[in-house]
Structures are given as structure tokens and as C-alpha cells.
Amino acid sequence: MLHELTLSALTANLAAGKVSAREAMQACLDRIDAVDDRVNAFISLDRDDALGQADAADAALAKGDTHADKPLLGVPISLKDLFCAKGQPVNCSSRILGDFRSPYDGTVVRKLRDAGAVLFGRVNMDEFAMGSSTENSAFGHSHNPWDLERVPGGSSGGSAAAVAAQECFASIGTDTGGSLRQPAALCGCVGLKPTYGRVSRYGVVAFASSLDQVGPMARDVRDSAVLLGAIAGQDPLDSTSVPVEVSDYTAVLGGDLKGVKLGLPTEYLTDGIDPEVRAAFDAAVKQCEVLGAEIHEVNMPHTEYGVATYYIVATAEASANLARFDGIRYGERVEGDDPFSLYCKTRGRGFGEEVKRRIILGTYVLSSGYYDAYYLRAQKVRTLIKRDFEQAFETVDVLITPTMPIPAFKAGEKTDDPLQMYLSDIFTISCNLAGTCGISLPCGFTSEPKLPIGLQLLGKPFGESKLLQIAHAYEQATPWHNERAAL
């Protein structure tokens, strides 16, 4: 079936003239019609626009455009609902933006269009990217294609669910504390979080500006490499993007792991890891050794402070970023007797409970008398966490850890206990605090029910090539990436 192809296989078929971009797009639309009433990955979809883009891609192929110049030509790709794409709704899975539509294309969207991608649909997410299960959405929560009673992870849960359900060939999401890697692990996909500054954030609705990073959600490592190459690079419209050369990430794929030094952080191997997750992880480490890698234990002593540090820094930045949503210039407005009551009513009705919780927490840690005790101290601990990574990378090439301590949990299981929800990201958060790169890829399944388990690799800053090389070598030596959810 056409919708079952990887992105790379689709481009090969498009280049050979075996299929058309319209056929590929129609296959995705048919698949959405067949399964999305159960998955709820897509929250808006303009079918005519999608097919029009596909026809334009076919016309480009007919006149001689190639995938060497436009690597994503004719490939249907979905967008997390926080990217600005001209004329498309931008809701961030929240009520507060109402019927707002973007008047412009963000940089990542523009780069994807330049690469020939067919950008269609807005996929579900935790509201303003705040959550780990995609249950914090004004459009209802998404379901894990492997078990519809379970969550797909978050906040890019719609992206992971759409890719796992084969409703699109790839999706573009964001990662603030694990929001690409965590849902990738729970849905059996590959989620890549690039180094902070590798990909432009211009045109991406901000959650925590010093932590957010854009990245791909794909079916395998090669597809991730192709997508990263298309969206990476310095952008004059984003002052935090870094002028570092963008490599051909597909050129490094292939081969074994001889001479590669993998660091095993002892602090990540806690007692709280699910036994089947631990067994799959241990087997993955042994597989890497078989491929030639050297395994070295390393210490990351400040790991235990990662969750607390993250939820101070991230909420403080969210408190500042979300102050712009007030119902005055755009979005939903609830009238009041005066400006104060207008703000209170608009935000009270427009924001969900988790967003309100984080705004309140962030405002508190920034308030007079508490700034030094909380926010300033958290920034100091963040520096210590970053130093842990720097010291580890003095002796190893890449760190290897589980992505999640547990497999996908049932919907509603953790909604009444925010702290337990926050702790589910314990292995992914430090990567964002340190600003380095990470990837999650499948490394096995639980027995009953059959649920995906993720392997996380964490690389040096701007070390995406090495990260992808190692991930690809492991992936190709194991069968997990070939498994598909049986919807």
C-alpha cells in the first residue's frame, strides 16, 4: 500500500515515475478517512489545498525538477499546530486563538515548501506544547495507534500518532523537554531533537524560548536525516539560530559502530524503570557492542535536579511568552467591563487547566522576593547540568539511555497527578536544558499489550551527523523499525 512507504521510498518512486504526488496525497487522505476517527491526530485539514499542492509537485516533476534539488518534492508532510503557515489556522490546540489564521510562512514552513513538500493538515498537540500525553488539547486527546486506550505521548503526540498510523509520511514538531522524543518512543517512531540553534524558530509559537527546538517525526532514521537537512540552517529572522554548516546528513549513514564510544549514564538507570523497558534497553546496549561500540559508564550527578530545574525555567518563560494572548489584537475575546476583567475572562475561558497551572507557577518564580530563590537558582543548576554533558563528552561520543522509564500509559491515568506526569519526561529534559541534540528510535516492544519501547541517544552540540550515524547502524541491525501498528 502506498501509505505504508517510508519517505525515502516514496521519493524514489516519485522520481522513477511509478507514482504521482497526487496519488501519494490521496493515499494519505484515504488513510485519514479510514482511521482518524479513532486516532484523532488531525484537528484541521484542507483537502483541496493539499491536492492542489500535490498537482503542483507533479507539474514540477514533469518539467524536470529532481529530488537532488528538492529532496521532499511531492512528499505529504503534516505540521504540529503551532507552526505559522500562510492562510492556515494556528490554534496551538487552544481555545484562545479562536479562528486566527497565519498571515505568513515561518522559516521552517518556507524551507519545507522550497524543498518541494506538500504541507497538509494541522496535527493535535498538548495546548501550547505543555504536556506529555496530548490530553491537554481543546480538540480532544489523540490516541496511540498501538493501543487506542493509551496516550501517544506529548506534546507532539498528534505528530507521532499520525506517523505511526501511516496518515502522513512524516510530521514536523517541536521539542521543549522531550516533546518529539517521548511521543516517538511511545508510538514506535523516530523523533529527532536538533541542537538548540540548529533550526530556526521564526514562525513557531513559543512555549519556552530558551528550550524550544523544531525537529522531524519520521518512520526511520534515514527519513529523519533527509528532513533535518531540509529545515536546518541559520536564519537572520531568528537571532538564536547559529551559523554552523549544514551537512548532508544522509551521507554518513551506513556501516558499523567500530571505534564509537557510547556513554552509559548510571543516573539514568533508576529503580523506577519498567522491567520490560529495562530489558529492551539492555539488549540494545549489547547490540551496539556487537556492532563494535565501546560502552563506558559515565556520571551525570545533577540529573536528579533536571525535572525541578526544567519546570522553573520553562514555566517562567511560558509566563512571559503567553502574556501576549489577551483577546485584544487577535484570537478569542470575552468582553468585560474594563480591561482587567476582559483579560481575566478571556484567559480564564481560553486557556486550559495545565496552561493556567504553568503560567501561575512561572509568574510566581519570577515575582519579587522569589526570583533569586527559584529562577536564578534554577539557571545556576542548569549550568551544572550542561557541565555534566560537557564532561561526559570529553570521554565518549554519544550517550545512550532509555527514552522513557515506562511504556505508553492509559488515557486519564496521570491527569489527576501532574507531578507523576512531569516525571515521565525525566530522561529527556536534561538534553533541552543543556541545549544539545537527541534522538529516540524503536528498540523493542512490551509483551502484553504490545507497546513500543524507545532508545535515546544524546549527542554533542551540533553533533547530529554522529547521532544519526549511530542511530542508523543500530536501526538497520534490528527489526523494530519495520513493525507497524495494526489499526
Which residues are designated catalytic? 80, 155, 179
Beta carbons of 435 and 386 less than 8 angstroms apart: yes
Q: What distance lies between CA 41 and its chain's CA centroid?
A: 14
Beta carbons of 455 and 472 less than 8 angstroms apart: no
Beta carbons of 399 and 298 less than 8 angstroms apart: yes
CB < 8 Å & 24+ apart, contacts of 265-268: 265/297, 265/298, 265/299, 265/300, 265/303, 265/392, 265/399, 265/401, 266/297, 266/298, 266/299, 266/300, 267/299, 267/300, 267/301, 267/303, 267/304, 268/300, 268/303, 268/401, 268/402, 268/427
Positive/negative CA dihedral, 100, 104, 108, 111: positive
**How many angstroms separate the Cα of 449 from the Cα of each of 23, 84, 363?**
34, 38, 42
Question: Among 87, 1, 112, 18, which residue's Cα sits nearest to residue 58?
Answer: 18
Q: What distance lies between CA 54 and its chain's CA centroid?
A: 25
Cell (9 digits) for 384: 551544572
Tell me, what DSSP letter sits at residue 279?
A: H
Kindly calculate the radius of gyration of the chain based on its CA atoms and give it in whole angstroms. 21
Strand order of the sheet with strand 452-459? Answer: 42-44, 118-123, 76-80, 170-175, 213-218, 190-193, 437-445, 452-459, 398-402, 261-265, 294-298
Question: In angstroms, rounded to a whole number, what is the distance separating the alpha carbons of residues 30 and 46?
Answer: 14
Q: Which residue bears the cell 532509555?
A: 402
Neighbouring residues of 89: CB distance < 8 A, sequence distance ≥ 6: 44, 81, 99, 100, 101, 102, 122
CB atoms within 10 A of CB 437: 29
Beta carbons of 279 and 287 less than 8 angstroms apart: no
Cell (9 digits) for 456: 535515546
Neighbouring residues of 46: CB distance < 8 A, sequence distance ≥ 6: 88, 120, 121
- 265 forms beta bridges with 298
Question: In angstroms, rounded to a whole number, what is the distance separating the alpha carbons of residues 186 and 191?
Answer: 11
